[in-house]
Chains A and B, each alone.
Chain A
Amino acid sequence: MNAQQFQHQILCYSDKLYRMARSVLKDESLSRDAYQELMTRLWEKRGQLEMIENRQAFVLASMRNLCIDWLRKQQPNGEIPANATYPAPGPHQLAEEADTVNTIGRMIDVLPEMQRAIVRMKDVEEMEVKEIAEIMSITENAVTVNLSRARKKLREMILTHQQQEKLLYEHHRQHTG
């Protein structure tokens, strides 16, 4: 595989790969490093890439595995760090958070790694369940179950957030009225 083929057959997945890194690592700078690291490794092994049938699944799975390895290395016990629960936004935060789209991003980030990877592959990348199953090395049924759990949690978080906003609004009205 020469530079031109690498450009057309591997670099075409760049954006998806980088977004996958961001989803796993939740850190922009670290994600950039992970992306560059993966690309360098793929370039060095470009001769073997020609034999791979589903390149998209292969490179995305490679990206995810590399990021998970990095996370494990950061932990003394070698495990993936557990996610914090979604913190209820304080009044100050609510007032500042005019961009509710960013709030959704933070909500997705508190889902377990597998759930947020699946929800992003389905709703952001618009991949089919079959493709996601191959990337994650799980059954299609497991993808559907995780997707369902992730979306239900997102709905709960959205509804909770809305209630918090209502309470804050009423509290503000009582004090100013």
Chain B
Amino acid sequence: MSKKEIYAVKGLSVPETPASAQEPKPWKQTQMVGKGIPRVDAYERVSGTAVYPSDVLLPDMIYGAVLRCPHPHAQVKKVDVEAASKMPGVRAVITGDTPEARVEWTYSKEARSSLFDPHCRFEGEPVAAVAAETPYQAEDALRAIRVEYDVLPFVVDERDALKENAPSVHGAGNVLKTEKYERGQVDRGFREADVVLEENYRTECQLHTPMELHGCVAKWDGDRLTLWESTQGVYAVQAEVAEVLKLPLSKVRVVGHYMGGGFGSKLKAGKYTVIAALLAKKSARPVKLFLTREETYLAVGNRPPNNMRLKAGVKKDGTLTALDFSCTGTGGAYPSGGTSLVDWLVRDLYKCPNVRTECTDIAIHTGPARPFRAPGHPQGAWVLEQMMDALAEAIKMDPVELRLKNIPNFSQGKEGNPPYSSTGLKQCLEEGAKAFQWKVARSKALAPGETGRIKRGVGMASCLWVVGGGWPPSTVILKLFPDGSLNLNMGASDIGTGTKTVMALVAAEELGIPLGKIEIEHADTGTTQYATPSGGSKTVPTEAPTVRAAAISVKQQLLEMASKELKLDAASLVFQEGSIAPAKDPSKSVKITDLSELKKRGVVVGIGYRGPNPENKAIIPFAAQFCEVEVNTKTGEVKILRFVSTNDSGRVMDRLTYDSQVIGGITMGIGLAMTEYRVLDRDQTGRMLNRNWHDYKLPTALDVPLEMTSLPVDREDSQANSVGAKGLGEPVTIPTAPAIANAVYNATGIRITETPISPERLCRLLAEKRKEG
């Protein structure tokens, strides 16, 4: 395929232009949006010309490194940096005793701390930092720092933290908060049920470990600070750093053109950001400070472990009568959502009048959690979707059928019970089952007489994601040049999901400009417009309508110019493939590039703002996933054979990047289900034992099924926003783990209620089952 074929270059016809102050209607037909068009920044990413923050090289730059507390709980008594300061190449050393480093740090609103807090409440809290000519010399200097600690008693497992005499994290009991929710009459609901099941579940702590390490390059020009940070949101980093260092926002420039993955762990600045800035100030040199891989396992977030219990009642006809859910979890040493949204699917996914949930967040001596791709949802799905599978079996109903029976058309969990702007859950289930050949595959798996040690099974699960509609604010600026080329200026980061590509497609669609003539400036607080961090599956539904609004503003201005030139009313003119013509007489057209006023001005600037969402509507993406597995009943090994994922995320904006998100979400879900879990030395040292990719296992090229089908329910949500898209990045990973667990159950009759589905665990359960006969 040549470059020409990849990037469409033909003139494109353009949709109607609404008058000023009129909201555009969703496109009826699209020319560019929805096609499988390669990324607009693909060249940069595969050629090596893309400069990620960790690639930044500045003249005179030196390297920072952070000394971290090796104990889960300790009081720093003394930090001796004398020897370290004299080491070769060392240019700056800072500790809690350094006056400029005595700054506040807010892990969360409820828990204030300081940058170098002498009371270290988790392994990995910064104690000191150095900057030196090479990273090797910085490491040498860290080793030369002598720290005296009072090592204190610790608790690193939330299941131990509520015991009597458990060490306290914040000087009182370790319960941070308990949240309760109730609707209907749960006890009556259970009395009405034909079948009531109850089960305990647990999901282990999962670590983000994006490929690019957390960190930044910091440079001062007098009182102005520039940070090249690997982040999902440059404006969020700017705000936090400005507040901590008491600088005007205008004096903090954060640049993050490319970034190597975040998954929620790079939504805000880290202590490392501030440390880099302080080291740069002290040494009067630019400082590159990126964490080591080991540090990222300790100090930059995780998906909390959760212990969950669900009691569920169902009638023989498949009507859910009651759900009673409780859970405990931990966000680590500082309040950070240890149980946040874990109960959401129980509250909202299926029609059920009687629901009760109770979530207790517990403090322990581990690194604080950060949002991790669909916070709470994969954990809740692990419970609810396995329970639905068990209920279906108990009432002898197909699991897909049971779910189809319980689809709500409004949000039961949200206040005021708003209707969904669209719900494609039914289509996800039906079309997914069809594409997967669910009935055939299931009857094959259930067929008796299979006696070999390899058993096949199929499983499925569905989900929604709590918010998928995006929201204000966002500002986008488009600059149209007299030669018909366009500059798109937005603050949002492209975290790998294809944001830039989707936005270029929206501009191309609306203005009829080929992608090859569109250039994007983004993710730079100095030169691009305000945007919230890219996360929460909200970037496309937030930014795309904003780009469209800016494009419409450009068109309106062009129509005004043409109206003067043609001496006709602007309302009587229409766009036609790079020209503007009277609707009634297309022969009298004027080329946009010939507009004399455009030539004179040199540029037309269109500003788009993100408008509000529709009132009293819940804009929610839905999904269903189906999978087939092969279980070796002798070794406990599970081979995942295939996956089908059906997603209702509204309109498909770019099919290629859409599918990439789907297969990526499944792959990450396979990690949660099969291999990923944090191991802490619970009794003796409280330290993390698998802080590297050898011992903490991500799915590799050998662990994914070759057959992964992404099947979008491609239907624009005309109520959600002007492009009709809902979020995608998070729902794609929510149902994966329970779909696998249900398939393993289908194959073996063993219900695996705790992650990971490791060969050891499965072997043990298989042996227990054999013993029971």
A binds B: no
Binding site for B on A (CB under 8 A): none
Binding site for A on B (CB under 8 A): none
